[in-house]
Amino acid sequence: MRPAKRVAVVACMDARLAPARILGFEQGDVHVIRNAGGVVTDAEVRSLAISQHLLGTEEIMLMQHTDCGMLKITDEVFAQRMEEFAGQRPEWDAHAFEDLEESVRASKRTIQGSPFIASRRVRGFVYDVDSGELREVT
């Protein structure tokens, strides 16, 4: 289904978040792509490209949040845990981060630098899970 507002949102999978509602949208207004941390990797670029080229979205919004689990671990520690569990390290990174705003900016740069994304209209936000405040990252 084409989203009514022609917007795609990349957000963290944290159960405390309802990204569309927090951003002021209704059901059917936006595509919501979720993952651990709400970071943009090749998988999200793939989904965003499909959202834009096949389903007509024209704007992208990024949403990360305070008290995120990806702030509490490092890629190295996670890789070690996976090695202990599975006997091997994953071929992918967890994409942990230390700075929320810089993580939002990095995801924005990934999108803007991708040759597969049609629109460069990208906005990024940090949501405070305690206060409910949503602030735009410039």
The residue assigned the tokens 């007509």 is: 56
Question: Using the 8-state DSSP alphabet, how is residue 15 labeled?
Answer: T
Report how far apart the first and last C-alpha atoms of the chain are (Å, whole number): 31
The CATH number, out of the four listed (1.10.260.40, 3.40.1050.10, 3.50.50.60, 3.20.20.80), of the domain defined by the range 7-137: 3.40.1050.10
pTM of the model: 0.95
How does residue 120 score in pLDDT terms, banded at 50, 70 and 90? confident
**How do residues 52-86 score in pLDDT, each as one tens digit?**
999 999 999 999 999 999 999 999 999 999 999 99
Q: What is the C-alpha to C-alpha distance for residues 57 and 123, in angstroms, rounded to an integer?
A: 14
Paired with 134 in beta bridges are 127
Domain positions in the chain are 7-137
